[in-house]
Amino acid sequence: MIDWSLYVITDAKLSRGRSHLEVIRAAIAGGATVVQYREKEGTTRQMIGEARALRELARQAGIPFIVNDRVDIALAVDADGVHVGQDDMPAPLARKLMGPGKIVGVSVDNLEQALQAEEDGADYVGAGPIFATPTKPDAAPPIGLEGLAEICRRVSIPVVAIGGINERNAAAVIAAGAAGVAVVSAIVAAPDVEAAARRLREITDTARAR
């Protein structure tokens, strides 16, 4: 069973000049339960090197390491899984390439996409954006807590909420039925990454216990 509570996604532009390794090491120390490597601008060689280092960190911590979009990078470093968007490689093909023992996640922004992802064999969906987010200016309109709750009710696989989530609204996201929160700026851009991760983890754990 995977603990999806605090799913941390890398972003080089938001990390205040810190390396992915430095940020993720601190996030794990603060309680991150899943790590995703997302890098859009690096060379393939650079990405393999960074992903391999992050995979080792996650492996030492006993948490899943997932690569965004790039199935080739995920395979090259023996990642635990891959996450694909609606315009990326189709989930069934990602599953075929990754193999049955790996994690395949799919980004969705409505119920129809979530149901399709489940039918396609996704292990979880990343639903959002829940709230407006500056991290992805080209993202779809926010689905809000009601849209999230509907997806959570209708699919049987875990739903990880993403988009504009921070310590002020994370509890409401869990209350809506999400298995966890996926965050970028709330942790990666924080002055103290470990403290930010610890606070968010406490909030999600408390909300789930209610």
- CATH number, residue 51: 3.20.20.70
Catalytic residue, candidates 52, 59, 136, 208: 136
Of 101, 44, 37, residue with least CA distance to 72 = 44
pLDDT tens for 68-80 read 999 999 999 999 9
Instruction: Compute the distance between CA of residue 67 and CA of residue 84 in angstroms, rounded to an integer.
Output: 9
Mean pLDDT of 18-32: 98
* Count of positions (residues) in the chain: 210
Parallel/antiparallel/unpaired status of strands 65-68 and 81-84: parallel
Instruction: Compute the distance between CA of residue 91 and CA of residue 187 in angstroms, rounded to an integer.
Output: 28
In a domain? residue 56: yes
Mean pLDDT of 113-136: 93
Question: Which alpha helices (H) appear in the chain, and where do they start and end?
Answer: 20-30, 44-61, 71-76, 91-98, 111-119, 144-154, 170-175, 185-188, 193-209
In a domain? residue 111: no
In a domain? residue 82: yes
Model pTM?
Answer: 0.97
Instruction: Compute the distance between CA of residue 38 and CA of residue 158 in angstroms, rounded to an integer.
Output: 21
Do residues 26 and 194 make contact, with C-beta atoms less than 8 angstroms apart?
yes
pLDDT at 48 over 90: yes
Owning domain of residue 68: 6-105+161-209
Q: What pLDDT is recorded for position 94?
A: 98
The token pair that represents 123 in the structure block: 């292990």
In a domain? residue 201: yes
Catalytic residue check, 107: yes
In a domain? residue 134: no
Q: What pLDDT is recorded for position 106?
A: 98
In a domain? residue 122: no
pLDDT tens for 166-191 read 999 999 999 999 999 999 999 999 99
Catalytic residue check, 136: yes
One-letter identity of residue 117: A
Catalytic residue, candidates 107, 185, 199, 201: 107
In a domain? residue 190: yes
In a domain? residue 204: yes
112 contact partners, CB below 8 Å, separation of at least 6? none
Catalytic residue, candidates 25, 38, 95, 201: 38
Q: What pLDDT is recorded for position 139?
A: 75
Query: Which 3 state secondary structure label does DSSP give 61?
Result: helix
Catalytic residue check, 40: no
Instruction: Compute the distance between CA of residue 60 and CA of residue 121 in angstroms, rounded to an integer.
Output: 28
Q: What is the mean pLDDT of the chain?
A: 96
Percent of the chain with pLDDT over 70: 99
- How many of the other CB atoms lie within 10 Å of CB of 14? 18
**Count of domains for the chain:** 1
